[in-house]
Structure 1
Amino acid sequence: MNVQDYFENNETMDIAKDMLGHTFTYNSDQGKFSGIIVETEAYLGPIDMAAHSYDGRHTPSNDPLYQAGGTIYIYSIHSWLDMDISVQKAGTPNGILIRGLQPLDGIEMMEQNRHQTGFNISNGPAKWIRSFGILDKELSGTMLNSDNFIFSDKKVQTPKNILATPRIGVPNKEPWTSKKMRFIVEGNPYVSKMYKRDMNLDTYGWL
């Protein structure tokens, strides 16, 4: 896969949906961590009141959003770290937040890093980052598939149904608060804030 092509030559919302079912891998000093992407959120740059680049805001910290599609952007929220992938060509600072991962590789180490077991190790954007042992922003600005982070060429699972919902933690930003820009694999228990009654524990929401 040409990562730049994938992240630059489609609509941001379509990319956010298509990422569901691909694997995301981190080759770290602790070993290999990977999971299947089950939840994403799209951010539409300068026009999006919830985006870090709203109104053209450009700082050393959010500069990765302004780089080529497929650039990693790691940032802190209330002392926790989150990760976006920049999308669109350099200079158009759109991003997609990876919110939830269904673990594949390194599960025991993930549990140690998080001091948790079960769905709670990676059912949220800061949770999976902590479980992967990422504790700083050192790798912000690196490119997918050229360094420590690998995005799979193809889906390893196909969602049975994708739900679009409003994003989480975007208050007081209407009309952007209500826009359905969060995409989840319906029923997957590693989706953040998923009620037990909505979990599909038979198929995890895959075909």
Structure 2
Amino acid sequence: MQKYFETAPTMDLAQDMLGHTFTYQSDQDTFSGIIVETEAYLGPDDMASHSYNGRHTPANDPLYQVGGTIYIYSIHSWLDMDISIQKAGTPNGILIRALQPLEGIATMEKNRNRTGFETTNGPAKWMSAFGIKNKDLSGTMLNEGNFSFSSKKVQVPQEILATPRIGVKNKEPWTSKNMRFIVKGNPYVSKLPKRDMNLDTYGWL
């Protein structure tokens, strides 16, 4: 399964990950959700990447490890998670931006003090819903510890939309590149207007 994250271009994997499940086994509960939104980050050339210009620190070292390594980092006191993509030494990453909950929903809602779509419709929101409060598991491997990624899709998107990434400001041409991928109409996609939500199929075939 780890080879999945090393066998295709990062942009392609960011789209293919939509519809797979992401699961976290914690002492609190088993949490899982379907990935509905991702962003690709293309390493040293990408001005929005944490490894831009070859930046390599103890904190972002997971990006430099084999594909499928967990990278947890803080943004404005919130925690986000990337999955390292490509072989060791090529620091690409894919940010998991939003999940449609499957397991542990009651605990997620308690952790977030929110219900419905607001529970996991953003990168820091789903992390909080899953009860992840620190970076202790950064550097661990998918499918070898607390986190797992399904080998097959459990849902297939009707349509995938590509848009510019969120929060990438003043970094042209990278600000405008369509490197964010969403399941069109899925109500758990971050910042999705109500008028664009497909409440019948949630955007799945």
The TM-score bracket by the shorter chain reads over 0.9
State the distance in 1 between where 2:118 and 2:33 align.
14
Q: TM-score, normalised by structure 2?
A: 1.00
Q: Which amino acid aligns with 1:200?
A: N
Matched, 1:83 2:100: no
Match of 2:151 in 1: 153
Deviation of 1:24 (Å): 0.1
Q: CA deviation at 1:39?
A: 0.1
Unaligned 5+ residue runs, structure 2?
Answer: none
Query: 1:15-64 deviations in whole A, cap 9, x for unaligned?
Result: 00000000000000011000000000000000000000000000000000
**2:13 maps to which residue?**
15
Give the distance between the partners of 1:88 and 1:149, measured in 2 at CA: 19
Amino acid at match of 2:185: G
- Give me the whole-angstrom Cα distance separating, in 2, the residues matched to 1:168 and 1:153: 28
State, as a whole percentage, how many aligned pairs show the same letter: 78
TM-score when normalising by structure 1: 0.99
The aligned amino acid for 2:179 is M
Q: Which SS does the other structure have where 2:59 is aligned?
A: coil
Aligned CA RMSD, in angstroms, stands at 0.3
Give the structure 1 partner of residue 126 of structure 2: 128
**Structure 2 CA distance for aligned equivalents of residues 139 and 133 of structure 1:** 12
Q: Indicate the SS of the match to 2:195.
A: helix
| 3-state SS in 1 of match to 2:201 | coil
- The counterpart of 2:201, out of the listed 192, 196, 203, is 203
Q: What is aligned with 2:191?
A: 193
Q: AA paired with 2:53?
A: D
Structure 1 residue 9, shift from structure 2 partner: 1.2
Of 102, 106, 109, which residue of structure 2 is paired with 1:108? Answer: 106
Q: Deviations over 1:138-193 (max 9, x none)?
A: 00000000000000010000000000000000000000000000000000000000
Q: For 2:201, give the aligned amino acid.
A: T
Say if 2:54 is the partner of 1:60.
no
Which residue in 2 is equivalent to 1:37? 35
Question: Partners of 1:74 and 1:120 in 2: how far apart?
Answer: 21
Cα deviation 1:114-158 (Å, max 9, x = unaligned): 000010000000000000000000000000000000000100000
The amino acid of 2:135's aligned partner reads K
After the TM superposition, which parts of structure 1 deviate over 6 Å for at least 4 consecutive aligned residues? none
- What secondary structure is seen at the aligned counterpart in 2 of 1:60? coil
3-state SS of the aligned residue for 2:109? helix
Structure 2 residue aligned with 1:72, among 36, 55, 70? Answer: 70
